[in-house]
A and B are shown apart, each in its own frame.
Chain A
Amino acid sequence: METLSFEFPAGQPPRGRTLVGCVGSGDLEVLIEPGQAGKLTITVQTSVNGSEQRWQHLFARMFDGQTPPAMDIDIHDFGATPGVVRLRLEQGFEEIGHD
Chain B
Amino acid sequence: MTDSAALLTKHSFVELGARQRAKALLDAGTFRELLDPFQRVMSPWLSRQGVVPQADDGVIIAKGSIDGLPVVIAAIEGAFQGGSLGEVGGAKIAGSLELAAEDNRKGIATRAVLLLETGGVRLQEANLGLAAIADIHAAIVDLRQYQPVVGVVAGSVGCFGGMSIAAGLCSYLLVTQEARLGLNGPQVIEQEAGLEEYDSRDRPFIWSLTGGEQRFATGLVDRYASDDVAQIRQQVSELLQQGLPAQQRSTQAELFLQRLARLDAEPQIEPSVVRDLYQGERS
Please tell me if B227 contacts chain A, counting CB pairs below 8 Å.
no
Main secondary structure of the interface of B (DSSP, over half): loop
The answer to whether A46 touches B37 (Cβ under 8 A) is: no
For B52, list chain A residues within 8 Å (CB): 1, 23, 45-47, 76-78
Interfacial chain A residues near B50, Cβ < 8 Å: 1
Measured CB to CB, the closest approach of chain A to B171, in angstroms, equals 30
Would B47 and A1 count as touching, CB distance under 8 A? yes
> Which interface class (under 10, 10 to 19, 20 to 34, 35 or more) fits A?
10 to 19
Within 8 A of A (CB), among B163-221: none
Partner of B38, one of A31, A46, A77: A31
Known: A23-B52, A46-B52. 5 other contacts (CB 8 A): A1-B50, A19-B37, A19-B55, A22-B54, A76-B55
Residues of A within 8 A of B (CB): 1, 17, 19, 22-25, 27, 29, 31, 33, 45-47, 74, 76-78
Question: Using a CB-CB cutoff of 8 Å, which residues 30-53 of chain B contact chain A?
Answer: 37-38, 40, 47, 50-53
Taking Cβ atoms with an 8 Å cutoff, the residues of B that contact A are 17, 37-38, 40, 47, 50-55, 77, 79-81
A50 to B53, CA, bound (A): 19
Nearest residue (CB) in B for A76 is: B52
B47 near A23: Cβ-Cβ < 8 Å: no
